[in-house]
Amino acid sequence: MNRRKKGLLFILVAIMVLSFALTGCGKNKSDKKAGGNKEGGTLTIALSSTPKNLDPVKYTGVYEGNIIRSIGDTLVFYDKELKEVIPGLATEWEISKDLKEYKFTLRDDVYFQKGKYQDGRKMTAEDVKYSLERSEKESAMGRLRMLDHVEVVSDNEIIAYLKEPNAAFLTVLTDSGNIIVPKEEVEGWGDEFGLHLVGTGSYAFKEWRKDDCVILEKNEKYWGSKPNLDQVVFKFISDTNMRANALRTGEIDVATDLQGESIEAIKKDEKLEIREKPGMKVSFVSMNLKNGPTKDKKVREAILSAIDVDALVKGLYSWDEAERAYLPLPPGSWGYDKSIEELVPKYDPAKAKKLLAEAGYPNGGFELNIYITDDPMRVKMATIIQSDLKENLNIDLKINTAEWGTFSDVASKGKADLYGMSWAWYPDPDFFLYQMFHSAQIGSLGNGQGFENAKVDELLNRAVSETGNQEERAKLYQEALKIIAEEYPRLDYSNEKVIYGMNKKVKDFVLFGDNQIFINHPEFNVYKEK
């Protein structure tokens, strides 16, 4: 028996030693490297999801995009306020009158990071052509679907020809799916390129410990301002409270996507701070415009008038994590127009009842199905709306929760009376309004409600094809927004803020409304105080 016990103990210890030898993630030992005040150290950022693929054409999640962004650069970036497009790998650009040709002048001091198939050679115009055309052909998300082809004009000039006029092309180029990558590496690694990404960014890919972290290291040959940190570690911690805890213990320096009580805990800690910014995100409940009682505009107006949105937002975001929304576009977008908020029905139960009676339901008495994901916040939202509708209109709201796969299937196929979700994308209104209100998008999740309006279609088309001028485009979007608001297609209830917890030693870290993470951006360069 004793011998057996010893044997068991031996096996146990052997397994543990072996597994630990396989290494894990965390702080790097070279944390206290000397140098300038800003130089050195490891910045550990906790993301809320686990990346699957870092190939720019294959990535699908924001968190993946955020890692890619440090490894590679795009031709242009958005400025930190998300108002203007600024130079990246391209120093300047010219757009043809018909919005179909974009000519870029490229930097000539850009080098790739070293990889297995090239030793850190110079980036050329051919690489830009290769990368953009690859994105057009292979991007799972169709990120460059408007691109026809790219022509190399000279060593440092290219022209991108579009299939159709598109004023949102520069915005699309800022996506980390469109970083410039070396052909040798892509072809050399084949399917595994996503595990060995090489780009021109300020931090180079070093190691990926699956489900645990991705480690990047400083790229000494970076073309822009020299990266300050020795290493950047993206660590994956899916639980909000645990991200906050890891921040409090000092295991990480930045905790992204914070919610709820964890925010309070961080505020109380002297070494830490909470940083927040209005987000590029709208949460909403869409109503079925094709079938069921909500097909009737009066019913929709009645529903909107019966929901106390201010109380809803207060009830949902106890830690002030969001602002009340009115329109299907976040106020941070340059297309937003505050005056249209007026068109959204105000909370007025008496009027709601009257409207419902006019629509032929004097005593309510019908049932509606709402579909949401099993996210507790959505469940809470649906429950509050359920009680508002019951109390004010005698409508029975049946709450159906499902995980994402089922939810997206039901919602996009127009099978739900109501469905609740969020939408976040680039600051260009095209990525909100076209995706969610253009009739061409019916059948995809964006326009699962089936919004169809010829005038809106026309305005949305004109906004990307008629002019590249941001102000003029904004006007077209505002006009479309007005028509949309008057149709009462859905309840836009909140704009969630981007909330990060941070160790106060982290300096120069800028939050982006669209939840992008830049460690080294033309306008700032993150460092860690000693």
Partner 1 sequence: MLKYTLKRLLQLIPTLLIVVLIIFVITRVVPGNPAAVMLGPQASVQDVEKLEEELGLNNSIWTQMLDYLKGLLKGDLGKSYYYNEPVIDIISERFPNTLLLSVFSMFLSLLIGIPAGVISATKQYSKFDYITMVLALIGISMPVFWLGLMLVLIFSVKLGWLPSVGIGEAGFIDGLKHIILPGLSLAIISAGVFARFTRSSMLDIIKEDYIKTARAKGLREKIVIWKHAFKNALPPIITIIGIQFSSLLSGAILTETIFSWPGMGKLIVDSIEKRDYSLVQGGVLFVAFVYVVINLIVDISYALLNPKVRAEFEGTKEGGK
**What token pair was written down for 427?**
């600051």
Strands 101-106 and 90-95: antiparallel
Binding mask 184-203 for partner 1 (x = CB under 8 A): -------xx-xx--------
End-to-end CA distance of the chain: 55
Residues 262, 499: Cα–Cα separation, whole Å: 11
Please say which residue, 252 or 481, places its beta carbon nearer to partner 1.
Answer: 252
Binding mask 44-83 for partner 1 (x = CB under 8 A): ------x-xx----x-xx----------------------
Kindly list the distances between the CA atom of residue 501 and the CA atoms of 46, 277, 496, in Å, as whole numbers in the listed order.
Answer: 10, 12, 15
Is 427 a binding residue for partner 1 by CB under 8 A? The answer is: no
295 burial level (CB within 10 Å; 0-12, 13-18, 19+): middle
Please say which residue, 138 or 157, places its beta carbon nearer to partner 1.
Answer: 138
Tell which positions 245-264 bind partner 1, by CB under 8 A.
Answer: 245-246, 248-249, 251
**What token pair was written down for 286?**
């869409």
Is 369 a binding residue for partner 1 by CB under 8 A? The answer is: no
Please say which residue, 432 or 477, places its beta carbon nearer to partner 1.
Answer: 432
Is 34 a binding residue for partner 1 by CB under 8 A? The answer is: no
Please say which residue, 69 or 235, places its beta carbon nearer to partner 1.
Answer: 235
Place of tokens 């019916």: 442
Is 465 a binding residue for partner 1 by CB under 8 A? The answer is: no
**What token pair was written down for 76?**
């242009």
Is 236 a binding residue for partner 1 by CB under 8 A? The answer is: yes
**What token pair was written down for 161?**
């020809």
Radius of gyration of the chain (CA): 25
Backbone angles phi, psi at 352, to 5 degrees: -60, -45
Min dist CB 233 to partner 1, Å, is 10
Alpha-carbon dihedral 359, 360, 363, 366, rounded to 10 degrees? -90
Segment interacting with partner 1, rule: CB under 8 A, options 383-391, 401-409, 467-475, 497-505:
401-409
Min dist CB 144 to partner 1, Å, is 12
Residue 177 contacts residue 426 (beta carbons within 8 Å): no
Is 15 a binding residue for partner 1 by CB under 8 A? The answer is: yes
Min dist CB 427 to partner 1, Å, is 14
Is 528 a binding residue for partner 1 by CB under 8 A? The answer is: no
Q: Which of 26, 120, 188, 278 binds partner 1 (CB under 8 A)?
A: 26
Is 409 a binding residue for partner 1 by CB under 8 A? The answer is: yes
**Beta-bridge mates of residue 85:** 78
Min dist CB 7 to partner 1, Å, is 13
Backbone angles phi, psi at 206, to 5 degrees: -115, -50
Is 164 a binding residue for partner 1 by CB under 8 A? The answer is: no
Residues 470, 362: Cα–Cα separation, whole Å: 47
Q: Which of 98, 109, 187, 211 binds partner 1 (CB under 8 A)?
A: 211
Is 153 a binding residue for partner 1 by CB under 8 A? The answer is: no
Side chain identity at 385, as an amino acid letter?
I
Side chain identity at 304, as an amino acid letter?
L
Residues 349, 326: Cα–Cα separation, whole Å: 18
Is 2 a binding residue for partner 1 by CB under 8 A? The answer is: no
Site size for partner 1 (CB under 8 A): 63
Segment interacting with partner 1, rule: CB under 8 A, options 16-24, 345-353, 453-461, 519-527:
16-24
**What token pair was written down for 114?**
């070293």
Please say which residue, 62 or 393, places its beta carbon nearer to partner 1.
Answer: 62
Min dist CB 168 to partner 1, Å, is 13
CB atoms within 10 A of CB 36: 9
Segment interacting with partner 1, rule: CB under 8 A, options 159-167, 318-326, 342-350, 436-444:
436-444
Q: Which of 445, 456, 463, 481 binds partner 1 (CB under 8 A)?
A: 445
Min dist CB 416 to partner 1, Å, is 12
Is 237 a binding residue for partner 1 by CB under 8 A? The answer is: yes
- Residue closest to 240 by CA, chosen among 250, 255, 228: 255
Please say which residue, 98 or 207, places its beta carbon nearer to partner 1.
Answer: 207
Q: Which of 210, 267, 346, 398 binds partner 1 (CB under 8 A)?
A: 210
Q: Which of 83, 187, 261, 404 binds partner 1 (CB under 8 A)?
A: 404
E strand or H helix at 264, and its extent? helix 261-268
Min dist CB 525 to partner 1, Å, is 27
Min dist CB 141 to partner 1, Å, is 6
- What single-letter DSSP state applies at residue 267? H
Please say which residue, 141 or 350, places its beta carbon nearer to partner 1.
Answer: 141
Residues 418, 371: Cα–Cα separation, whole Å: 6
Backbone angles phi, psi at 340, to 5 degrees: -75, -20
Kindly list the distances between the CA atom of residue 494 and the CA atoms of 315, 318, 320, 401, 511, in Å, as whole numbers in the listed order.
Answer: 12, 13, 11, 20, 19
Is 30 a binding residue for partner 1 by CB under 8 A? The answer is: no
**How much of the chain is in helix, strand and coil states, percent to nearest 5?**
35, 25, 40
147-154 β-sheet, strand order: 90-95, 101-106, 157-162, 147-154
Is 478 a binding residue for partner 1 by CB under 8 A? The answer is: no
Is 268 a binding residue for partner 1 by CB under 8 A? The answer is: no
Residue 156 contacts residue 223 (beta carbons within 8 Å): no
Q: Which of 284, 423, 500, 518 binds partner 1 (CB under 8 A)?
A: 423
Give the binding site for partner 1 (CB under 8 A): 12, 15-27, 50, 52-53, 58, 60-61, 140-142, 191-192, 194-195, 209-213, 235-239, 241-242, 245-246, 248-249, 251, 403-410, 412, 421, 423, 425, 431, 435, 441, 443-446
